[in-house]
Amino acid sequence: MLTCKETSQLISQAQERKLGLRERFSLRIHLWACSSCSHFEQQIKSLRSALKTHSTPNSLPDDKPLPGDAHERILNAIRNQTSE
Amino acid sequence: MTILDPEAWLDEHGSALYSFALLNVRDSHRAEDLVQETLLSALKAKDNFQESSSVRTWLIGILKHKIIDEFRQQSRDATPDDPDHALELAEAKNAEDNFNESGHWSLPITDWGDSEKEFTRDQFWKFIENCLASQSPKMSRLFILREIWGMETDEVCKEMGISPTNLWTTLHRARLGMRKCLEKKLHH
């Protein structure tokens, strides 16, 4: 029987690679009996899906205004390059 | 023609580029420089812009290239005696602390339900940003590439020059850390 520590590692790795038959089997058995690990699995998956929905170009963060002095500096750099 | 006006790009997308850069590199001066480099590269590559894609998508794509160069550099520069490494050891211990000697969770993991759906976009990103800041730079880089950018596992390994097992271990620790941090925020 897997420990929770080993199970959590498999849950994580399942996000990165296809688990083997034996791994999947022992994982299912453990999850069937352990609510903490089942919740961990749900949390990891919902975190990934929430990040995915928030990562389209229009839902990325845009709440930090570019500081005014940086704006001006960049504007000058653009003008310099355009006039070259 | 307005669509290819770099000065308008700065007004319309400057803050979005800056916010995204800040989420990834944490340093405000570096983030400002990245916005500038992105817009200047975009200006040079103006002719490659595909009318079918949005300006923002195109600019974010260029910015991502710059960020990944930066990550590659940071990842190469990390040596065993720098503070990053000490931080990594501390992170390994933090990950261990989630479990007791017999390998059980030290504290039961509870059901989050749908609570994360209640957040606005700004709140969501604020939480993610705060929690990322509490991770070691390496964990945060790998978590960003894999979970926020959605890069494939082998691509992340190739770009960052690490083995798949190294990536799995680091991402697992990052997930344990992010989970714990987000849970505190969900309950307050």
Query: B146 with B102, same domain?
Result: yes
Largest CA distance in chain B: 66
Among candidate residues B56, B76, B96, the one where a domain is terminated: B76
Identify the pLDDT of residue B41. Answer: 94
Query: B56 with B90, same domain?
Result: no
From chain B, pick out residues whose CB is under 8 angstroms from the CB of A75.
7, 10
Q: B138: which 2 tokens?
A: 């390496």
Buried/exposed B5-16: b ≥16 CB within 10 Å, e otherwise: ebeebbeebbbb
Q: B76: which 2 tokens?
A: 């190469």
CB contact under 8 A, A66 and B15: yes
Among candidate residues B76, B98, B115, the one where a domain is terminated: B76
Show the domain range for B180.
82-186
User: Distance, in angstroms, between B8 CA and closest chain A CA?
Assistant: 10
The predicted complex's ipTM stands at 0.91
Using DSSP's 3-state secondary structure scheme, residue B99 falls into: strand
Compute the half-sphere exposure of residue A77: CA atoms within 13 Å on the CB side of its CA.
20
Query: B101 with B166, same domain?
Result: yes
Identify the pLDDT of residue B84. Answer: 67
Query: B90 with B69, same domain?
Result: no
Mutate to test the interface with A, among B12, B18, B39 (most CBs of A within 10 A): B18
Residues of chain A with pLDDT under 70: none
Query: B37 with B12, same domain?
Result: yes
Written as one string, the DSSP assignment of A30-84 is: HHHH-HHHHHHHHHHHHHHHHHHHTTSTTTS---SPPPHHHHHHHHHHHHHHHH-
Query: B67 with B114, same domain?
Result: no
Name residue, tokens 């340093």. B27
Among candidate residues B45, B76, B107, the one where a domain is terminated: B76
Using DSSP's 3-state secondary structure scheme, residue B50 falls into: coil
Query: B119 with B156, same domain?
Result: yes
| pTM beyond 0.80 | yes
pLDDT tens by residue, chain B, 188 residues: 445 688 889 999 999 999 999 999 989 999 999 999 999 999 998 887 877 778 999 999 999 999 999 999 888 877 666 666 777 788 888 899 999 999 999 999 999 877 666 778 888 999 999 999 988 888 999 999 999 999 999 999 999 999 999 999 999 999 999 999 999 888 76
- Alpha carbons A51 and A53: distance in angstroms, whole number: 6
CB contact under 8 A, B40 and A17: no
CA B48 from chain centre, in angstroms, equals: 27
Using DSSP's 3-state secondary structure scheme, residue B161 falls into: coil
Nearest CB partner across the interface for B19, out of A17, A35, A64: A64
From chain B, pick out residues whose CB is under 8 angstroms from the CB of A73.
32, 36
* Number of structural domains in chain B: 2
CA A71 from chain centre, in angstroms, equals: 31
Angle at B167 between CA B149 and CA B31, to 5 degrees: 40
We report the CATH number of the domain holding residue B107 as: 1.10.10.10
Mutate to test the interface with A, among B5, B9, B10, B132 (most CBs of A within 10 A): B10
Identify the pLDDT of residue B81. Answer: 63
Compute the half-sphere exposure of residue B30: CA atoms within 13 Å on the CB side of its CA.
13
Query: B87 with B178, same domain?
Result: yes
B109, amino acid identity: I
Q: Does A21 touch chain B (CB under 8 A)?
A: no
Nearest CB partner across the interface for B105, out of A36, A70, A79: A36
Query: B117 with B102, same domain?
Result: yes
CB contact under 8 A, A5 and B103: yes
